[in-house]
């Protein structure tokens, strides 16, 4: 089985999506890109994360051809593919339907700098991409455009997408941004939260080039 280690890692993180309340049921998807081989490993469509086995992870090229695997890839594979084609800093992606990020996305709101951890997104905010039907090229393009200069984006009326150099970091960004989205939601129920100024967020962005990274095991 090719890319056995990476397939095992995707299975592990698929379970963590549910265990860490980042998605429900079979919602969301995970992928890893093998840049040297121009191949992508991605979760299959509609299979329970706790029933996934490494051989269920689909290996495909960027033209959509399945190289190894017996299942259909996630319907969102084009949304992963566009980043691997156009962003050399991204080699893993996590898409989730987490409660608070999705709540903000359903309001068509961005996530401002309510907490310094917003900087883990790679910017001073997390933008919200224009709505498009799931699994479409339009959604992929909208997500790509809204995530310019960032490592995370809300998908309107849908969820959250994060990208990073590897899967642990992409997952970590999803967790931290969901935390910030919850803080924003809760503070909005009390009044208007105090948003950090740009000069402070610039400091955070500098610090997070190293501090915000999950280290290799």
Whether 138 is covered by a domain: the verdict is yes
Given the residues 76, 175, 176, 178, select the one marked as catalytic: 76
As for how many domains the chain has, the answer is: 1
Q: What is the per-residue pLDDT for 213?
A: 76
Whether 217 is covered by a domain: the verdict is no
Q: What is the pTM of this model?
A: 0.95
Q: What is the per-residue pLDDT for 217?
A: 53
Whether 213 is covered by a domain: the verdict is no
Q: How far apart are CA 74 and CA 71, in angstroms?
A: 9
Per-residue pLDDT tens digits for 29-47 = 999 999 999 999 999 999 9
Quickly tell me which residue has 């290996």 as its tokens: 59
Per-residue pLDDT tens digits for 119-166 = 999 999 999 999 999 999 999 999 999 999 999 999 999 999 999 999
Whether 39 is covered by a domain: the verdict is yes
SS3 category, 102: helix
* Full domain range(s) for residue 52: 4-207
Q: Is 76 a catalytic residue?
A: yes
Residue 192's CATH number? 3.40.225.10
Whether 52 is covered by a domain: the verdict is yes
Q: How far apart are CA 92 and CA 172, in angstroms?
A: 12
Q: How far apart are CA 175 and CA 172, in angstroms?
A: 5
Per-residue pLDDT tens digits for 36-90 = 999 999 999 999 999 999 999 999 999 999 999 999 999 999 999 999 999 999 9
* Percent of all residues in the chain with a pLDDT value above 90, rounded to a whole number: 95
Q: How far apart are CA 207 and CA 211, in angstroms?
A: 6
Of 158, 142, 147, the C-alpha closest to 99 is 158
Q: How far apart are CA 154 and CA 3, in angstroms?
A: 30
Whether 159 is covered by a domain: the verdict is yes
For residue 166, CA distances in Å to 89, 173, 202 come to: 10, 11, 24
Whether 104 is covered by a domain: the verdict is yes
Q: How far apart are CA 133 and CA 24, in angstroms?
A: 19
pLDDT grade for 167, boundaries at 50, 70 and 90: very high
């Amino acid at each position: 089985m090719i890319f056995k280690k990476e397939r095992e890692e995707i299975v592990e993180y698929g379970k963590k999506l549910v265990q860490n309340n980042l998605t429900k049921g079979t919602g969301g998807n995970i992928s890893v890109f093998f840049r040297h081989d121009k191949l992508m490993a991605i979760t299959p469509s509609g299979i329970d994360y706790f029933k996934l086995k490494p051989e269920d992870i689909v290996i495909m090229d960027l033209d959509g051809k399945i190289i190894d695997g017996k299942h259909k890839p996630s319907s969102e594979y084009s949304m992963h593919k566009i980043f691997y084609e156009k962003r050399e800093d991204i080699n893993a992606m996590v898409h989730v339907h987490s409660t608070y990020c999705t709540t903000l996305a359903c309001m068509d709101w961005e996530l401002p700098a309510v907490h310094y951890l917003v900087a883990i997104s790679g910017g001073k905010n997390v933008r919200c991409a224009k709505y498009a039907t799931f699994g479409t090229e339009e959604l992929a393009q909208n997500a790509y455009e809204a995530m310019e200069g960032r490592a995370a984006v809300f998908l309107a009326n849908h969820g959250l997408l994060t990208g990073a150099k590897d899967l642990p970091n992409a997952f970590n960004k999803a967790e931290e941004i969901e935390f910030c989205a919850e803080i924003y939601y809760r503070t909005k129920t009390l009044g208007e939260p105090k948003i950090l100024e740009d000069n402070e967020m610039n400091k955070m962005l500098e610090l997070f080039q190293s501090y915000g990274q999950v280290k290799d095991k």
